Amino acid sequence: MSGARIRKNRKWATCALLLAGLMSGLVEARAQSPESATGDWSSLAVGGSFNATRLQYGQHWLLGGTAFVDANFTWRYGIEGETNWAVLRQVEDTHATTYLIGPRYQLGAIDNDAKFRPYAKFLIGDGYFNFPYHYAWGNYFVMAPGAGMDYRVNQRIRLRLIDAEVQYWPGFTYGSATNLSVSAGIRYRIR
């Protein structure tokens, strides 16, 4: 991995963490405490998962990992940032990495004790694609609508049972591309 690419990856990770920190700070800057009447639903969580990504380019499945940060402002509304590395099972060194952020909306969870938490999200960001044999690479704009389901183990830990997203790369070199990414993992609530 080149030094420029490592610096870029660090820059994206730092920006995502700073944004999540700033957003959680905004939630805390309210004038009146909601806990006495409605409960404080704001939270910050981090997690990781194992993913499988179907690339349209080459029509094959890659495996990899995902790191994500969830900042929830209320029990329904939040923001999610994720990095998805689809780098295992490469065919001729073809792989992809995405850096995405966007709104997240929880469906159907009525209270904080709900075991299952379905959600929907719409992320946008940067996609890095490495073409066969390292002959070329490119960065592309990516949109990724998705949905998933978390299962509460305890107050801090949730299992991410499934997270599925359709990654649409509208400006891909050979015409727009649509990749499918499915993952499962674990989420830890920091605050």
pTM: 0.74
What is the chain's mean pLDDT, rounded? 82
Would you say residue 21 lies in a domain? yes
User: Would you give the distance in Å from CA 121 to the centre of its chain?
Assistant: 9
The C-alpha atoms of residue 48 and residue 46 are separated, in whole angstroms, by 7
Would you say residue 72 lies in a domain? yes
User: How does residue 40 score in pLDDT terms, banded at 50, 70 and 90?
Assistant: low
Given this model, what pLDDT does residue 134 score?
81
Given this model, what pLDDT does residue 29 score?
44
Kindly tell me the sign of the dihedral angle through the C-alpha atoms of 9, 120, 110, 158.
negative
Q: What is the mean pLDDT of residues 28-43?
A: 52
User: How does residue 22 score in pLDDT terms, banded at 50, 70 and 90?
Assistant: very low
**Which residue from 80, 164, 75, 150 is spatially nearest to 118, judged by alpha carbons?**
150
Would you say residue 159 lies in a domain? yes
Given this model, what pLDDT does residue 62 score?
93
**Residue-wise pLDDT tens digits, 110-151:** 555 678 889 999 999 999 999 988 888 899 999 999 999 999
Would you say residue 34 lies in a domain? no
Q: Is 133 helix (H, G, I), strand (E, B) or coil?
A: helix
**Residue-wise pLDDT tens digits, 44-90:** 999 999 999 999 888 889 999 999 999 988 878 999 999 999 989 88
User: How does residue 175 score in pLDDT terms, banded at 50, 70 and 90?
Assistant: confident
* Structural domains of the chain, count: 1
Would you say residue 147 lies in a domain? yes
Would you say residue 143 lies in a domain? yes
Q: Which residues contact 104 (CB under 8 A, 6 or more apart)?
A: 70, 72, 77, 78, 79, 80, 119, 120, 121
Domain span holding position 143: 3-27+41-189
Given this model, what pLDDT does residue 113 score?
62
Given this model, what pLDDT does residue 5 score?
55
Give the other-Cβ count within 10 Å of 144's Cβ. 22
CATH number, position 152: 2.40.160.20
Statement: residue 27 has pLDDT above 60: no
Give the other-Cβ count within 10 Å of 186's Cβ. 15
Would you say residue 36 lies in a domain? no
Would you say residue 32 lies in a domain? no
Q: DSSP letters along 38-67, please? A: T----EEEEEEEEEEEEETTTTEEEEEEEE
Q: Is 93 helix (H, G, I), strand (E, B) or coil?
A: coil
